[in-house]
Amino acid sequence: MSKLLHLSASPRGPKSESLAIATTFLDTVREVNPGLEVEHYDLWDGTLPAFGPDGVAGKMAVFAGEEPQGASADAWAAAISTFRRFDAADSYLFSVPMWNGGVPYILKQFIDVISQPGLVFGFDPERGYSGLLRGKRAAVIYTSAVYGPDRGPAFGSDFQQPYLEDWLRWAGVGEISAIHFRPNLATADAETGRREAHATARDEAKRFTA
């Protein structure tokens, strides 16, 4: 493992629980493997391209054996550049707060930008999809303020972890570890769960670099 890419889906900066746990994870990784290159990709930094009409037009032109032109060419090139930044890493850390039961829309946008045939996946008419991100591993930090697996349906459902991990496996990432911090903020004390989450982050980081 020579390069780890941390993809942050939280816009809360120093107030973010998922980013705080990610810092614990990364500090431990650096202690265990001082030579590891770590890159931080803040998905909210304004560099993530859109993938709308121009991007789709560029993609369809390429599929037709044509060269994208104008704005379509620019949008398609931006999607390819984003994928290359992602693919250049050997391993990934995702910090993912729960939004409305799922992932923040900026992470979904990232996934939609890079999930292109011949890059993230291949397709065979008889066998279906095959992931192309082989030999990579991922750790994911999941946080939620209301949902918890031990709470009833009135506290929400989890479309966060199943969605992201299904995408990772579909893309070919076979080794995934998860770290959770899911306090019920209606209660007074979240500190015990916070300590446990940071302890789990340290343990997972040690295993991640083994």
> How many residues does this entry show for the chain?
210
Phi/psi of residue 69, nearest 5 degrees: -125, 150
Local structure of residue 45 (DSSP, 8 states): S
Domains contained in the chain, number = 1
Read off the pLDDT of residues 47-102 as tens digits, 9 standing for 90 and up.
Answer: 999 999 999 999 888 878 899 999 999 999 999 999 999 999 999 999 999 999 99
pTM surpassing 0.85?
Answer: yes
Read off the CATH number of the domain in which 78 is found.
3.40.50.360
Note the pLDDT of residue 27: 97
Note the pLDDT of residue 190: 86
Q: Which domain holds residue 46?
A: 3-208
Distance CA 160, CA 70 (A): 37
